[in-house]
Structure 1
């Protein structure tokens, strides 16, 4: 699979599952109507899709220049921290505006979501790599 197709497939699968988890969480946590929670989830997903593509593009360029190939637990954790940390910064003002809450409340809410998504990101990318194989950036010369 081409790197472009791989990134698109990974992002779409990841965000589809994310919407299925975040929508009911927003409904329950903020007593928000399901329709509004779904739209917020979709908006956040759209932002996350863009961030996912851009972050993975940069991460894989960095990864391809590393002498040690493969995806160790440390590299997967670095990927998860980078992706989720950047996304938290981007989404915090969106959540504050949509839910009509303070930035602090949005930060606290975002931390709750991040606790789940940090583990989800690492688990998802591991499973995706097992099913679809490592990207070229993580493969050694003989594997590529």
Structure 2
């Protein structure tokens, strides 16, 4: 198990490294300045973090109200993940389109590219982090 300090180091390093990789990469791919893309990447990461908290809070309250508990089955976890991503996309689309002076269709491609990048990045980062900082195994009692 990881302690709180390790979890914070992991989360902060994940975000900072992700921003350092995705900003120049997407500035180049989508032909925009590092400044414009940097603002969007930081805004997107911040919005995703805040929305994650609010969405999960609302989702859990809805589950508790409808079912009396907040446990999620696998199908409900899939619905939860898809709804989170779709609602985040809807929230960010107009801001990204306005900031970059792009059409909504172009920004949808950009957002889907961000999602694909971060899915692969999360896998690689987690593997690398676990290799560099292996999680401590819990003590087993006989």
TM-score after normalising by structure 1: 0.58
* Alignment-derived partner of residue 46 in structure 1: 46
* Alignment-derived partner of residue 82 in structure 2: 81
Quote the offset at 1:106 in angstroms: 1.2
Query: After the TM superposition, which segments of 4 or more aligned residues of structure 1 sit over 3 Å from their partners?
Result: 12-15, 17-22, 62-73, 114-117
For residues 74 and 117 of structure 2, the distance between their equivalents in structure 1, rounded to whole angstroms, comes to 18
Unpaired stretches in structure 1, ≥5 consecutive residues:
1-8, 124-130, 132-144
For residues 13 and 103 of structure 2, the distance between their equivalents in structure 1, rounded to whole angstroms, comes to 28
The question of 1:97 aligning with 2:98 is answered yes
1:15·1:45 contact (CA, 8 Å) conserved in 2?
no
Aligned residues: 114
Unpaired stretches in structure 2, ≥5 consecutive residues:
1-7, 124-134, 136-142
For residues 79 and 14 of structure 1, the distance between their equivalents in structure 2, rounded to whole angstroms, comes to 26
Q: Rg bigger for which structure?
A: 2
RMSD: 3.6
Quote the offset at 1:73 in angstroms: 3.3
For residues 77 and 24 of structure 1, the distance between their equivalents in structure 2, rounded to whole angstroms, comes to 32
